[in-house]
Amino acid sequence: MSAAVPSLNNQPQSESVARSFYAKLLLLFFLFSLPFANPIVHGDGVGYYAFVRAPLIQHNLRFEEDWRHANLQFAQSRTLPDGQVMPQGYTQTGHLYNHFPVGPAILWTPFLALAHAGVLLANSFGAHIPADGFSAPYRIAMAVGTAFYGFLGLFLSFFIACRFVHPRWAFLSTLGIWTSSSLPVYMYFNPSWSHAHSVFAVALFLWFWLRTRPDPTLRQWLLLGLLGGLLLNIYFPNGVFLLLPFVDSLRAYWSLLRSPDKSSFFRKFSGNLIFLAALFFAFLPTLVTRRIIFGGFFRFGTYGALAWDFHAPHWLPVLVSSDHGLLIWTPLLAFALAGLLFPMRRSKEVVAYFGLSAVAFYYVIACYPYWDGMASFGNRFLISLSPIFVLGLALLLERANTLFPSPRRAFPAFALLFSAFALWNAGFVYQWGAHLIPPRGPISWAEMIHNQFSVVPRKLAHDLNSYFFRRGDLMHTIEQKDIEQLHAPPTPHP
């Protein structure tokens, strides 16, 4: 059954019909985007992917094969010429030093298990597909799974925004963040990393928290705790979003303590205890793997050994540095943040909560010694805030809509503007992916802008053809460029 096309004039229009229509458009957009999914395990993704491959294929946490099958740069830095892993790569328990979280592996498991079953079935009929977790069916399943979770995160972000603005603005803001931020790089090009999974987990947590507040049932507290554990399993800084139910509960206690009816106080307290128990239970996969690999439940490898500076010395570079600064690499996010500063009345409380979690997340990254994300497109760490960016951008569109005589004019104007941001971002992503600019460290903006107008239009069509039809060769070429640039002397940039 076809969806009714929502009107863009000032006449009353059912928001539920519009929401359904735009949700289907988002789904269609996702399906057409799937050919961009890149079935490659690369860099940090080797560690993430090992946590699903080794248990599925080998039924253990021995990652030597993952290290040997890794991309060239990763393998060269961790293995000897004969293929043996360097002795210093092992922990005191005799396991390889894999400090990455296990959350992405948990989410990939259904996709990889289905791929494994398919490979075994095909081999039983005479096919000869390596059932080792490295062959194409497994990598394709991983890449499609990552794109799927990234889309679900955006989909939930759309519905969160629909609570406060008309679906047309939620739709445009969702597409804007989808196409003009760092997310598409980690949703499609580098799918073995954790950031698209973070968008899903954060959006699901925020959506469920909004749906059940201000007075969740005990069962809802249980589910919220499980979702909180998933947040932590995927990416440890995501734990800042646990501030939302914490602050919400503190506010409730302040009111309940002054009430003569103490039953509500004890019900809230019981819910909080259930939440904490569920949170701990859901976080057990990480704790157990830390115990096996590092010898202690609360040993987190590199994350605990780095020299964190809690004076947040990198607070400004995180935003505006040419070394992957958030607002200067992905400028549409500046408008998203601006939208959070001027919320509508019905959204003020939620925006305050979201703003609190965004500031806390920003503070954590500003304290991190590798705040720039090293080989990162934009600031990849802050991709976790995508659901908040979607809401902020939608609120800004709702405000800016009043500048136009009617939505009939506003919608195409904003769509055209967002298309320009998307094209700029696509060219920038291409430069980064093709190593026309350094993937690490600061870049030259003069070089980048020159490339956008002179080099990208000439080379993009050819490399897109290679991406779709000779992807292996293209990835090998990019890998070689990356190794060359990594070992080249640094080039000063103004």
Place of tokens 């409730």: 252
* Residue that wins the pLDDT comparison between 492 and 342: 342
Mean pLDDT, to the nearest integer, of 434-445? 93
Cα 291 from Cα 297, distance rounded (Å): 5
CB 111 within 8 Å of CB 139:
no
Structure tokens at 370: 């590798």
Mean pLDDT, to the nearest integer, of 391-409? 87
The confidence band for 357, taking pLDDT boundaries of 50, 70 and 90, is very high
pLDDT value, residue 489 = 61
pLDDT value, residue 253 = 87
Q: Give Cα 139 distance to the centre of its chain.
A: 19
Reported as a single tens digit per residue, the pLDDT across 253-296 is 888 777 777 778 888 899 999 999 999 999 999 999 999 999 99
DSSP 8-state class, residue 406: -
Structure tokens at 277: 């128990």
CB 4 within 8 Å of CB 21:
yes
Mean pLDDT, to the nearest integer, of 60-71? 94
> Would the pLDDT of 464 be above 80?
yes
CB 400 within 8 Å of CB 184:
no
Quick one: which of 75, 260, 73 has its CA closest to 65? 75
Residues 6+ apart with CB under 8 A from 262: 256
> Would the pLDDT of 429 be above 80?
yes
Instruction: Give the residues across from 90 on adjacent strands.
Output: 96
Indicate the pTM of the whole model. 0.93
Cα 490 from Cα 494, distance rounded (Å): 13
Q: Which amino acid is at 327?
A: L
Give the phi and the psi of residue 133 in degrees, each rounded to 5. Answer: 85, -5
Arithmetic mean of pLDDT over the chain: 92
Cα 29 from Cα 150, distance rounded (Å): 13
Mean pLDDT, to the nearest integer, of 355-366? 96
Residues 6+ apart with CB under 8 A from 70: 41, 42, 46, 78
> Would the pLDDT of 5 be above 70?
no
Q: Transcribe 15-33 into DSSP letters.
A: HHHHHHHHHHHHHHHHHHH
Structure tokens at 21: 């229509």
Instruction: Give the residues across from 96 on adjacent strands.
Output: 90
The confidence band for 10, taking pLDDT boundaries of 50, 70 and 90, is very low
Quick one: which of 200, 235, 208 has its CA closest to 103? 235
> Would the pLDDT of 162 be above 60?
yes
pLDDT value, residue 342 = 86
pLDDT value, residue 491 = 54
> Would the pLDDT of 179 be above 70?
yes
* Residue that wins the pLDDT comparison between 71 and 429: 429
